[in-house]
Structure 1
Amino acid sequence: MNEGEQVRGRWAVIAHVSWGAIFAGAVVVLVVQLTLAMLGLGIGFYAMDPGEGPTAGLGIGALIWWVVSAIVSLFLGGWVASRLSGIQTRTDGMLHGFVTWGLASLMTVYLMTSTVGAFIGGGMSLVQGLGSAAGKTAEISPELREEVEKQLRQYFPDQKPQVSPEQRQRLQDRGAETAEQVKTGAARGALGSFVMLVLGGLAAAFGGAAGRTKGPVIT
């Protein structure tokens, strides 16, 4: 028997970690997730009724589809990783599926942050360009700006904004309510992400267990 082989009962088990199979499983996760997302997007647009509002019932349906597609893609990714690695035991298959889930999660986070960073960078460039254009415009016509300021002073001499105590209290209450809504939304988002990650890890582990190969019988 070669070094690295273990015998469990009547099965020959090769104890190893196949990173190539794990990477292939992670790629399958991303591709299947993207494919199902496009399918759900197409079905959602096709079933949308403009007369009832473009977003009527869209939120809960999109959430359910996202959860189901994530579980399916992670199960398939774990299955592919386990099958390509030649794993023969349930535990090793589940471990390969679990590592596939971890790698796919890291790849997803990287892609999301890169995309968001690209959008933010483009937005900042646009804002800087607009600010530069506005500054140039202001430099070109200072007489027009002075004329507008003079007319405003003529129409509104010594006018200062007045805020009543009731308005100030209303603004404070509205700010506190907005802060509470933001806190609640952040807490729900974090808990939902935690539950989704746990479900995804379990799906990938079960996929790895299902994808293990059947080893030869040692007589």
Structure 2
Amino acid sequence: MATNKTAGFAAADERLVGKTATRLSWGAIFAGVVIAIAVQVVLGILGAGIGLTMVDPVEGTTPGATGFGIGAGIYWLITTVLALGAGGYAAARVAGVHERFDALVHGLVVWGVTLIVTLYLLTSAVGGIIGGAFRTVGAVAGAAGTTVGAAVPQAAAIAGVDKGDVREQAAAYLSDTPNDPASMTPEQAQKEIAKELPALAAGGAEGQQAEARIVEIVAAQRKISRPEAQAQVTRAKRQFVQTKNEAVSTAKSATDQAAGAAAGTSFVLVVALLIGAAAAGFGATAVTRRRLR
């Protein structure tokens, strides 16, 4: 007995079984990032124009560096909030989300991508320019050094002069200071004392030799006895050590202040970034509240 088979239709629930819809729209996120960066750039240019109008060197009404920096920081924070809020709102609106969590995720992703793109642009552009400049200078200096280093031995070989003789002659040209302190001019004596100061500061056996040499020069130049010269050098050495200690103390204090300022700036920057994330999330979730109304 023959049976007839008719083509039927699947049940509604069977036809709907398949891949679930994607809840994250990267196209909408890209649109939000573009809008956020564009708004930030426009507001940044506007802020620069406002800041330049406040500079008046003729009248002397230019604001101080501290006040100007605080004002610029506050303006940057406001523009960041506005830009990320607009970007998050645009991303959630274009994505057509209906749940608040989905909108929040779109806003936070817009914030994260905007942050990454901004950091990349800053590091790649500025770092590339500076790095390229230093690489260019290094290449030129290296080429010049290679050229000179290759030319000197060849010139010496052509002239029939030994390279050791060339070095000795160059050293003779550079060290024209007489060894006898009595034969030195005041300029030569100052130069010789300055050359001995690093060894004097280092101390040890070399420091004692340097001190003896300085005492000898001072006695010969000022035409005083060696004990008197030793007393003058000792007083100068004591003042030198005191000045060095004060300089080290000042440097340590400045370093501590700089570290504290850097730490404070880091905390402020983190707070500003978190405020930016909150602005992006708020702008995105505003879409769901609008749809509910």
**How does the TM-score come out when normalised to structure 2?**
0.60
Where does 1:202-213 land on structure 2 (aligned, <5 Å)?
A: 202-212=278-288
Q: Does 1:179 align with 2:282?
A: no
Aligned partner of 1:67 in structure 2 is 77
Aligned partner of 2:86 in structure 1 is 76
Q: CA deviation at 1:131?
A: 4.3
Aligned partner of 1:201 in structure 2 is 277
Question: AA paired with 1:165?
Answer: V
C-alpha distance in 1 between matches for 2:117 and 2:52: 28
Q: Secondary structure at the match of 2:291?
A: coil
Aligned partner of 2:7 in structure 1 is none
Question: AA paired with 1:202?
Answer: A
C-alpha distance in 2 between matches for 1:54 and 1:123: 34
CA pair 146-132 structure 1, distance change in 2 beyond 3 A: farther
Q: CA deviation at 1:91?
A: 2.2
Q: CA deviation at 1:181?
A: 1.9
Q: CA deviation at 1:171?
A: 1.4
Where does 1:10-29 land on structure 2 (aligned, <5 Å)?
A: 16-29=23-36
**Is this contact kept in 2: 1:78–1:211, CA < 8 A?**
no
Where does 1:35-184 land on structure 2 (aligned, <5 Å)?
A: 35-50=42-57, 51-53=60-62, 55-56=64-65, 57-125=67-135, 127-128=137-138, 131=141, 150=176, 155-157=187-189, 158-159=192-193, 160-161=196-197, 164-184=240-260
**Is this contact kept in 2: 1:74–1:203, CA < 8 A?**
yes
**Percent identity of equivalent pairs:** 33
Q: CA deviation at 1:55?
A: 4.9
Further displaced range: 161-170 or 203-212:
161-170
Q: Secondary structure at the match of 1:84?
A: helix
Unaligned runs of 5+ in 2: 1-12, 153-166, 179-183, 201-236
C-alpha distance in 2 between matches for 1:32 and 1:63: 17
**Is this contact kept in 2: 1:4–1:15, CA < 8 A?**
no
Deviations for 1:78-136, whole angstroms, at most 9, x for unmatched residues?
A: 00100110011222212211111111111111111112311321341354267469868
CA RMSD in angstroms, aligned pairs only = 3.4
Q: Secondary structure at the match of 2:135?
A: helix
Unaligned runs of 5+ in 1: 7-13
Higher helix share: 2
Q: Secondary structure at the match of 1:211?
A: helix
Q: Which of the pair has the greater relative contact order for Cα pairs under 8 Å at 6+ separation?
A: 1
Question: AA paired with 1:110?
Answer: Y
Q: CA deviation at 1:203?
A: 0.1
| Count of aligned pairs between the two proteins | 207
**Is this contact kept in 2: 1:78–1:207, CA < 8 A?**
yes
**How does the TM-score come out when normalised to structure 1?**
0.79
C-alpha distance in 1 between matches for 2:30 and 2:82: 17
C-alpha distance in 1 between matches for 2:43 and 2:170: 57
Deviations for 1:155-199, whole angstroms, at most 9, x for unmatched residues?
A: 323313366221111111012012102211220121011101110
Question: AA paired with 1:32?
Answer: V
C-alpha distance in 1 between matches for 2:177 and 2:287: 79
**Is this contact kept in 2: 1:29–1:73, CA < 8 A?**
yes
